[in-house]
Chain A
């Protein structure tokens, strides 16, 4: 009875450890293929454009409206303590340190992570990945390495754009609706912003890009069965990437800003 209880308790734990181990090995293999030739520049460029260029509209809109909402909410909140002048500070620090990378990460996870998982999952169930092996091509090197590297390089660029547009959203609401003097708002924003704020956001972005592509590739690469398997892989890629983004956000924040 007790043994059965322990077994029931231990099975999911062992399963989780096995999954984490497999994911870790997959990540290490992906990194080793990124660093060793041959390099597939054409594939890298294709995925870089897919992540950086085609994700730009969704990330830009998200950042712009986030900055606008943030300015409005912080103004109404701070008005209770006569601290409305801190709106510009709150907007720029929140956007560069947290909201830019995290929201861009979540949006890209939904868009790119799902797409990678679906594409690789379909390739797996239609034997295209096995076909690559028979055509003298390592699937990890050809499919996974360029995707992971492209997302890792593209995410900081997306977040840089998100930072600018988020700050612009706050600026627009602050000056047009809340009555701040434009020059004063910009000066406050510039004065409060430090290099570390932007750098920490960009480091987060690179980490999130790596995680999004890794989870998309891992889920797709290991998918089984037919359409249902591909669907499960896609869901798993987005859910796991989103959770890891939020968890790693804390880890990187702790590394940069812990006293």
Chain B
């Protein structure tokens, strides 16, 4: 799917059956590992039903921020609100219930090697006992079709798939339980440009069909423009800019524009050693 096609899908597609009311808000989130500060007071507001792309260089804190939102890492300070509730102050059971409404596509897919593809895709539905094993096979075939894979792929093991197919299966797994917030960690990393465009198109379609809020982190500018409505840039653990994803490269912010154009000279300098 080309960039134009993908954007067209985003605007011309029918309205989703539902629209989530869950947004994400980070206020002053800090996280350090030993003496190294990774998040230095991150403030970010992602409105419900918005696709937000967070840009940033390697080591800027993007992944740590995502893991803090998902509850995989506890921040040292700050507030993380999902649907208006401070998740850091919630009881574990309530937090787990909220996390059930989220999906995540990991950078390398993170598919379970010991399970066939169909079980990977329906893992969450099976874990929550929302579906029988027999029904899960049918559901997996349905979701695999959504990401352009044949039902027969369901019987393969993840090791038998190419990188692009693994990414599609991981996307299928992320959306199979129909989450209200979906996170994408470097969705096109390691893929050729065509497969990257295909994955971007699928992400746009899936998020639209789900009526979900999406947060993607990437340093692929083409992908960012395709999948994002809003964009933010994180640098040295702080959000330094937020705005319309379509304006990336012409934001007027010297750091963002340097990053968007991939220019060597500019306010962002590569620190070879910290």
Chain A residues near B (Cβ < 8 Å): 119, 122-123, 126-128, 130-131, 133-137
B71, B104, B128: which contacts A131 (Cβ < 8 A)? B104
B104, B108, B128: which contacts A126 (Cβ < 8 A)? B108
Query: Do B127 and A126 touch (CB < 8 A)?
Result: no
CA of A253 to CA of B127 in the docked complex: distance in angstroms? Answer: 42
Which B81-119 residues sit within 8 Å CB-CB of chain A? Answer: 96, 99-100, 102-104, 106-108, 110-114
A126, A128, A130, A136: which contacts B72 (Cβ < 8 A)? A130
* Min CB–CB distance B159 → chain A (angstroms): 12
Query: Do B110 and A131 touch (CB < 8 A)?
Result: yes
CA of A123 to CA of B123 in the docked complex: distance in angstroms? Answer: 16
- Using known A-B contacts A130-B67, A130-B72, A131-B104, determine if residue A136 contacts B96 with beta carbons closer than 8 Å: yes
Q: Which 5 A-B pairs have the closest CB atoms?
A: A131-B110, A127-B110, A134-B104, A135-B124, A137-B127
- Using known A-B contacts A135-B127, A136-B128, determine if residue A128 contacts B71 with beta carbons closer than 8 Å: no
B111, B113, B124: which contacts A136 (Cβ < 8 A)? B124
- By a CB distance below 8 angstroms, the chain A residues around B99 are 133-134, 136
- By a CB distance below 8 angstroms, the chain B residues around A128 are 110-113
B100: nearest chain-A partner, CB-CB: A136
- By a CB distance below 8 angstroms, the chain A residues around B19 are none
B70 within 8 A of A: yes
The bracket for how many chain B residues form the interface is: 20 to 34
CA of A131 to CA of B170 in the docked complex: distance in angstroms? Answer: 10
Taking A126-B110, A127-B107, A137-B124 as given, write out 13 further A-B residue pairs in contact, using a Cβ cutoff of 8 Å, ordered by the A residue number.
A127-B108, A128-B111, A128-B112, A130-B70, A131-B110, A131-B111, A133-B72, A134-B70, A134-B99, A134-B102, A135-B124, A135-B173, A136-B128
- By a CB distance below 8 angstroms, the chain B residues around A122 are 113
CA of A57 to CA of B171 in the docked complex: distance in angstroms? Answer: 42
CA of A126 to CA of B103 in the docked complex: distance in angstroms? Answer: 17
CA of A133 to CA of B71 in the docked complex: distance in angstroms? Answer: 9
CA of A61 to CA of B99 in the docked complex: distance in angstroms? Answer: 49
- By a CB distance below 8 angstroms, the chain A residues around B107 are 127
- By a CB distance below 8 angstroms, the chain A residues around B123 are 135, 137
* Min CB–CB distance B90 → chain A (angstroms): 15
Chain B residues near A (Cβ < 8 Å): 67, 70-72, 96, 99-100, 102-104, 106-108, 110-114, 123-124, 127-128, 173
CA of A127 to CA of B106 in the docked complex: distance in angstroms? Answer: 8
CA of A136 to CA of B130 in the docked complex: distance in angstroms? Answer: 12
- By a CB distance below 8 angstroms, the chain B residues around A134 are 70, 72, 99, 102-104
CA of A127 to CA of B70 in the docked complex: distance in angstroms? Answer: 13
* Min CB–CB distance B151 → chain A (angstroms): 22
CA of A135 to CA of B128 in the docked complex: distance in angstroms? Answer: 9
- By a CB distance below 8 angstroms, the chain B residues around A119 are 114
Query: Do A131 and B106 touch (CB < 8 A)?
Result: yes
- By a CB distance below 8 angstroms, the chain B residues around A133 are 70-72, 99
B103: nearest chain-A partner, CB-CB: A134
- By a CB distance below 8 angstroms, the chain B residues around A130 are 67, 70, 72, 106, 110
* Min CB–CB distance A205 → chain B (angstroms): 27
Offer 23 A-B interface pairs, CB within 8 angstroms, sorted by A: A119-B114, A122-B113, A123-B112, A126-B108, A126-B110, A127-B106, A128-B110, A128-B113, A130-B67, A130-B110, A131-B106, A131-B110, A131-B112, A133-B70, A133-B99, A134-B70, A135-B124, A136-B96, A136-B99, A136-B127, A136-B128, A137-B124, A137-B127
CA of A122 to CA of B67 in the docked complex: distance in angstroms? Answer: 19
* Min CB–CB distance A147 → chain B (angstroms): 12
CA of A137 to CA of B124 in the docked complex: distance in angstroms? Answer: 8
- By a CB distance below 8 angstroms, the chain A residues around B67 are 130
- By a CB distance below 8 angstroms, the chain A residues around B106 are 127, 130-131
- By a CB distance below 8 angstroms, the chain B residues around A135 are 123-124, 127, 173
* Min CB–CB distance B183 → chain A (angstroms): 8
CA of A131 to CA of B121 in the docked complex: distance in angstroms? Answer: 12
B128: nearest chain-A partner, CB-CB: A136
CA of A119 to CA of B112 in the docked complex: distance in angstroms? Answer: 11
A127: nearest chain-B partner, CB-CB: B110
CA of A172 to CA of B159 in the docked complex: distance in angstroms? Answer: 47
A137: nearest chain-B partner, CB-CB: B127
CA of A135 to CA of B104 in the docked complex: distance in angstroms? Answer: 8
B104: nearest chain-A partner, CB-CB: A134
CA of A258 to CA of B113 in the docked complex: distance in angstroms? Answer: 48
* Min CB–CB distance B56 → chain A (angstroms): 19
A138: nearest chain-B partner, CB-CB: B96
B174: nearest chain-A partner, CB-CB: A134
- By a CB distance below 8 angstroms, the chain B residues around A123 are 112
CA of A131 to CA of B158 in the docked complex: distance in angstroms? Answer: 15
Q: Count chain B CB atoms within 10 A of each CB in A119, A127, A135 and give the residue with the most.
A: A135
- By a CB distance below 8 angstroms, the chain A residues around B173 are 135
